[in-house]
Structure 1
Amino acid sequence: MTPAFEARGLQVALGGREVLHGIDLVLPVGRWTALVGPNGAGKTTLLKTLAQLLPFRGELVVLGKPSGAWSARERARAISWLGQGEPGAEDLRAADVVMLGRLPHQAWLSTPSAADSIAVERAMRQTQCWDWRTRPVGQLSGGERQRVLLARALAVEAPLLLMDEPLANLDPPHQADWLALVRAQVAQGRTVLSVLHELTMALHADDLLVLQAGRLVHHGRCDDPATHQALRHVFDHRVRVQALDGQWVALPHV
Structure 2
Amino acid sequence: MMMTATLSAQTISFARDGNHILDNVAMQLSSGEIVGLIGPNGAGKSSLLRVMAGLQQADTGSVSLSLDDADKKSLNDFSGRERAQILAYLPQQEIPAWPLQVEHLVGLGRAPWHTPLTGKSPADKQAIERALEQTELQSLRQRIVTTLSGGELQRTLLARVFAGEPQIILADEPIAALDPYHQLHMMELLAEHAQQGGAVLAALHDLSLAARFCSRLVLLHRGKVVADGSPIDVLTTENLQQVYGISAYVDCRDEGVVIIPRKRVL
Q: Quick check: 1:208 aligned with 2:211?
A: no
Correspondences of 1:140-219 after superposition (within 5 Å)? 140-204=148-212, 205-219=214-228
Q: Which amino acid aligns with 1:253?
A: R
1:54-73 deviation line (CA, Å, top 9, x unaligned):
01121211223212211111
**What does residue 33 of structure 2 align with?**
31
Q: Are positions 1:221 and 2:240 aligned together?
A: no
Unaligned runs of 5+ in 1: none
Q: Describe the shift of the 1:128–1:50 C-alpha distance in structure 2 as closer, same or farther (beyond 3 A).
A: same
The aligned residue for residue 247 of structure 2 is 238
Code of the residue aligned with 1:65 in structure 2: it is: K
Within 2, Cα distance between the matches of 1:60 and 1:223?
A: 28
Q: Which residue number in structure 1 is paired with residue 95 of structure 2?
A: 87
Alpha-carbon distance change, 245 to 28 in structure 1, aligned in 2, over 3 angstroms: closer
C-alpha contact (below 8 Å) 2:107/2:163 kept by paired residues: yes
Amino acid at match of 1:82: L
In 2, the alpha carbon distance for the partners of 1:158 and 1:236 equals 37
Instruction: From 59, 62, 66, give the equivalent of 1:59.
Output: 62
> How has the CA–CA distance of structure 1 residues 129 and 153 changed in structure 2, closer, same or farther, with 3 Å as cutoff?
same
Q: Determine if contact 1:231/1:239 at 8 Å carries over to the other structure.
A: yes
Deviation at 1:34, TM superposition (A): 0.5
Residues in 2 aligned to 1:17 and 1:234: alpha-carbon distance in whole angstroms: 19
Q: Partner of 1:134 in structure 2?
A: 142
Distance 1:237 1:148 in 2: 35
- Residue aligning to 1:18: 20
SS in 2 for 1:166: coil
TM-score (norm 1): 0.94
1:237 shift after superposition? 3.8
Check the 8 A contact 2:54/2:76 in 1, yes or no.
no
Q: Show structure 2 runs of 5+ residues with no match.
A: 67-71
**What is the distance in 2 between the residues matched to 1:25 and 1:246?**
26
The answer on whether the counterparts of 2:46 and 2:172 sit within 8 Å (CA) in structure 1 is yes
Identity among equivalent pairs (%):
37
> Structure 2 vs 1, CA of residues 3 and 150 (structure 1 numbering), >3 Å: closer, same or farther?
closer
Measured on the aligned residues, the alpha-carbon RMSD in Å equals 1.8
SS of corresponding position for 1:218:
strand
Alignment of 1:251 onto 2:260:
yes
Letter of the aligned partner of 2:100 in structure 1?
Answer: L
Q: State the AA in 2 paired with 1:33.
A: V
Structure 1: distance between partners of 2:255 and 2:241:
20
Q: Which residue of 2 aligns with 1:76?
A: 84
Q: What is the alpha-carbon distance in structure 1 between the residues aligned to residue 256 and residue 27 of structure 2?
A: 26
